[in-house]
């Protein structure tokens, strides 16, 4: 039964030690025989240490003073500035990419329209939208 009933939705509670002993034993037994759940467990396993960095009031707990400097130095050492992009939360990111693509397309259209206009040819796009065209200096 354990081999079929995966434990993915119990793993967070498992790594946090929030499961009852029998439930915890069931998860452990399943992990021994299920590579997929083991992989998921490995991804969850770092979270408790992260959460332990937070104090009860939400502020960072007493971290060693040198920690921040060490972390920042580590970032500086391992990440070239060009790669240093702060990525946005996933659902928002898709929207952002879409918005950027839309903006880029708009800019491209305007640029093309501008080129045609500058070349003295009538710009159909602007004509259709009914916007007043600036007289082309010629």
Partner 1 sequence: VEGLKLREIAQRLGLPLGTVKSRVHYAAQGLRLALEELEVLS
Contacts of partner 1 in 11-30 (CB under 8 A): 11-13, 15-20
Q: List the beta bridge partners of residue 54.
A: 60
Closest approach of Cβ 47 to partner 1, in Å? Answer: 6
- The span from the CA of 30 to the CA of 74, in Å, is 37
- The span from the CA of 40 to the CA of 11, in Å, is 8
Supply angle C-alpha 112, 94, 90, rounded to 5.
150
Which tokens belong to 107?
């800019």
Closest approach of Cβ 65 to partner 1, in Å? Answer: 20
- Count of residues touching partner 1 (by CB under 8 A): 27
Contacts of partner 1 in 30-89 (CB under 8 A): 43-44, 46-48, 50-52, 56, 79, 86-89
Residue 75 or 105: the one with the smaller Cβ distance to partner 1 is 75
- The span from the CA of 72 to the CA of 117, in Å, is 51
Asked if 90 is part of the footprint of partner 1 (rule: CB under 8 A), the reply reads yes
Residues binding partner 1 (CB under 8 A): 9-13, 15-20, 43-44, 46-48, 50-52, 56, 79, 86-90, 93
């Amino acid at each position: 039964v354990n081999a079929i009933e995966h434990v993915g939705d119990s793993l967070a509670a498992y790594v946090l030690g929030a499961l009852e002993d029998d439930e915890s034993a069931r998860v452990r037994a399943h992990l021994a025989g299920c590579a997929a759940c083991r992989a998921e467990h490995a991804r969850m396993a770092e979270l408790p240490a992260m959460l332990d960095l937070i104090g009860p009031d939400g502020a960072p707990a007493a971290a060693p003073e040198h920690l921040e400097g060490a972390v920042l130095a580590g970032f500086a050492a391992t990440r070239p500035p060009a790669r240093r992009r702060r990525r946005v939360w996933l659902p928002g990111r898709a929207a952002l990419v879409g918005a950027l693509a839309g903006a880029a397309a708009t800019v491209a259209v305007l640029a093309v329209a501008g080129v045609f206009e500058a070349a003295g040819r009538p710009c159909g796009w602007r004509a259709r939208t009914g916007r007043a065209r600036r007289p082309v200096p010629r």
